[in-house]
Amino acid sequence: MPRAGIPEQLQRARAEYAEIESKLVDPKVISSPAYRAFAQRYAHLRDVLRLGQEWEKLQAAIVEQQELWESEEELRDEIAAALAEDRRRVEAIEREFRNLLIPPDPNDKKTSIFEIRGGAGGEESSLFAADLFRMYTRFAEKRGFKVSLLDSHPTPLGGFKQVVFAVEGDSPYGLFRYESGVHRVQRVPATESSGRIHTSTATVVVLPEAEEVEITIEPKDLKIETFRSTGPGGQSVNTTDSAVRITHVPTGIVSSCQDEKSQHKNRAQAMRVLRARLKDRYDREREEELLATRRSQIGSGDRSEKIRTYNFPQNRVTDHRVGLDVYNLAGVLEGDLDSLIEAARHAAAEEAASEKTP
C-alpha cells in the first residue's frame, strides 16, 4: 500500500522548491550569508522530488497493471510478476524517502569520534566495552571506513575501562549518530564460576569531529601534562613521558592520549578529541538556549538512555527505542549491524516527518 502522507509531502516540497529556486537567482540573496543554506536546502529538496517522481510513476504503473490483470486473463502471470517487482521497488523507495525526511545535518559527513566506557558490572563491563569496540570496528571496516585508535585504557583480562577511536569515510557521523547511549549485556561472565547470568553496561558516545576553525581554543586556557603510558594493571609501557593529558580549564573537560610512542602525536590526538568534546558541549548549550527540543529517544543521543540489550542466553539483541529484536547476537557482535542501525535511522525519519515537512 502507498505510504500515507507522501503525496502531501511532495506537494509541499514542490512549493518550497519553487520558492527557493526564485530566491537563488535574487542578487540580494546571492550576496547574503543565507545563500549557502538556501542552496543546501534546494539540493536536498531536489533529491526528495526525484525520489517522489519515481514513486508517483510506479504508483501509476501499479494502477494500470491492476486494471490489465482484470481484463487480460492470458497475461496474468506476467502482469503479476511485474506488479510484485514494482511493489518491491515502491517499498524500497518509501524506506529511502523516510531517510530523506531527516533534515540534513552539516555534521553528518564528518568523522565520528567514539568514546566507549565500561559502566556497571566491574571487570565484565570492561570486557563488554571491548566487545562493542570490536563490533563497531568490524562494521566500519565492512563499510570501507578507516578506524584509528586515539586513546585506550586496557584491563588485565583484555577489556577496556575506556577506548576512544575515530571512524573516517563517507558520512560516518550520519551513520553512527544514533548509537550514543547505554548498552546492556546479559550473560555469564568469564570471571563467574557459578554460571550465574549477570547484567552489565557500557556507555557509547558518538561525536562529530570538530575542525579547528569551528572551535577556538586559547593556549592560555589549556593545562597540558605529560606522563608515562600504562598498560593493563597499571604497568608502565614506555620509558619516556610520551602520554599527554590536556585539560580545558574554563570547562574542566579533559582529554588524554597514550597510544602513540611520540608525545607530539599523542598531543595532536588529545587535541582532536578535546575539540570534539568542546563542540558537543557548545552545541548542546546553544540548543538549550534556543529551547530546541531534542527527540525523546532516537534523536537525542541521550547518554543516560538504555538503548540496546545484548542477551546471550536468548541469542537476542533488542533495540529498546524501536522495539526491534534481532536473533543473531554472534553476527551482530561480528559487525552485522545494518538492520539495527537502519531501524534507528528510519525511526528518526518518522519522527522528523511528524515534526516538519521535507
Most confident of 124-138, 179-193, 214-228, 269-283: 124-138
Q: Dig out the grid coordinates for 280 from the structure.
A: 558537543
Q: Inform me whether the pLDDT recorded for 295 exceeds 70.
A: no
Angle subtended by helix axes 76-100 and 35-71, to nearest 10: 160
More confident residue, 128 or 292: 128
Q: Inform me whether the pLDDT recorded for 305 exceeds 90.
A: no
CATH 3.30.70.1660 domain locations along the chain: 112-209+295-355
Which residues is 324 bridged to in the sheet?
A: 319
Closest CA to 248 of 282, 271, 214, 280: 271
Q: Which residues contact 105 (CB under 8 A, 6 or more apart)?
A: 173, 174, 177
Tell me 102's DSSP state: S
- The model's pLDDT over 4-15, given as tens digits with 9 standing for 90+, comes to 478 888 898 899
* Average pLDDT over the chain, rounded to an integer: 85
Least confident of 88-102, 216-230, 328-342: 88-102
Q: Which CATH class is domain 219-289?
A: alpha beta
Beta-strand ranges (E) seen in the chain are: 112-118, 146-154, 160-168, 181-187, 198-208, 222-227, 243-248, 253-257, 306-311, 316-319, 324-326
CATH 3.30.160.20 domain locations along the chain: 219-289
The pLDDT, as a whole number, for residue 75 is 83
- The model's pLDDT over 234-290, given as tens digits with 9 standing for 90+, comes to 554 554 678 899 999 999 999 989 878 788 889 999 998 999 999 888 887 776 654
- The model's pLDDT over 146-165, given as tens digits with 9 standing for 90+, comes to 999 998 999 999 999 999 99
Q: Inform me whether the pLDDT recorded for 291 exceeds 80.
A: no
CATH number for the domain formed by residue range(s) 112-209+295-355: 3.30.70.1660
